[in-house]
Chain A
Amino acid sequence: MKAKITVLLFSIFVAISGKISAQEENNIKLSGELLTDQRLLLRDNNDWAWNENRLTLKLDKQISSESKFYSEIWLRNIGLPNAVHSSSLYNKGIIDPYNLEIREAYLQINGFLNKKIDLTLGRQQIVWGTADKLNPTDNLNPYDLEDILDFGRKRGSDAINLQYYFNYDFSVQGVFIPFFQPANMPVGIFADLLNPSIAMPQGMVLNNFSDTLMMPKYNLGESSTVGLRFKGFAKGVDFSLSYVWGYDGLPYSSKNMLTPVNMNGETNIQSELSFMRNHIIGVDLATSIGGAGVWAEAAAFIPDQDMVMTTDLSALYPGSPEPVTQDSVLLKKNKPYIKFVIGGDYFFADGSYLNLQYLHGFVHERGSEGLNDYFFLRYEKTFFNEKLKITPIGGGFIVTDWGDINENYAIAYLPEISYKATPNAEITLSAAIFDGKGDHLFASLKDYNMLMLKMKYSF
């Protein structure tokens, strides 16, 4: 068996080397962007809400006519100085926070082993789905939720990605991601947005909350993700069927241990956070009807096992011979929930563009009962040969309870003006205005209305 694997690996190595060295070309292209993204709150003293200065470097080397290497790196200064003590002044990382991120770094070989097979190896973004940014079927890369207003952004995954083309119209894609990477959470003023509120039992007050993340074990069986997608084009319709067996990148609370601190009811909670593995079956399509672009996408999430939250109250009953626990089933193994999106767009002769989407189930929502309805609309118009773009209408309307809309809704209004000062320099001025009632993510942003300025230079 070991010998067979060695032979197989050797064959793959020979195939890769052959493709790469076939016609070595010295074609290296370095490009990138310089971006500054500044946001300030539209209240009181106009506190700074976001400070990001990003240098994106893209290296694209065409190795041969059939292979290339591509990498994308972010070098960023993000956040504001967080100096509290004098010792902070000795730490540049606190005064001037920065980070380096390898977004992508992969080798792509077209016609690998067979002219109908493409292989992409390394850190890569694998985007599935036909909808506009909101893709329920896109579940391979971990969510990058750092900037909650840039929803849909993902990080690259270290993956083996093989695509086999039956012909020009039909293909099948297999993806293997050896280890699990969780989503990264929002930062800055958005940091607490995705943290669930904690409902304490009657008579108790939360004193301290701490948690432990229960990561899957890093071995092939437990931490890997597998994806399979069949893609086709027939009768003017692009469609695909997909399957993913992988983890939800956002953790859930699997165990909460309550410990009383004093007689006033103050209680500490120690929580264990786990990641749920799902079977995800997806379907999507896109076509053009009467000049309008139309798309639809749906994904059924089937938990690999019951998602249970155990509350341990043993510390409250010290005399009890048995542990006192209470189990709540959050999601049932045999009860799938479906997220979907339906949308369309239209280009008008005067240079304006309309985009509409209805989404059932946002990125962080789970379970049939927990999925909300989102209506997104964007109308934009370009002027002066696309130098100036105005988006007077952009944003969404969210309903969290159709039975009581007046108390359970959210509105996000995101108008934007962007101007290309030179072919490579773009300035964008936009606003984010939120309103709503209830405990929805966007409704809770109503204290964070902001003005945003972005400047981007491409080179």
Chain B
Amino acid sequence: MVTMQQVLGALEGEVLYRGRNFDQCEVSFVVACDLMSDVLVVDVENILLVTSLVSRQSLKTAHLVGASGVVIVNNKTLPDDLVALAEELELSVIRTPCDKFKCCVVLGKLLGL
């Protein structure tokens, strides 16, 4: 189990929206996926969604499965309306310059896999 703060550090990321409890939020499982239908199939707690799909659906899907946060890879940023949505959903979103593979490798090491 790691915290969002540790995730942020390991990925040399930047916070796009800091949800309440960001510092306490824990991550124990990573779902790296651009197909939101596949995210909805995962049935575990404390998910971190790693995706390159920047859309309302990515944030809503993460929210609905109770994800601890979302990592946007390849340093893509969120348009203003999606930052507003993240705020509405109280969902932490960070971005990282890593591509999806590198991001997964880093998170795998961090989680001790």
Chain A bound to chain B: no
Interface residues of A (CB under 8 A from B): none
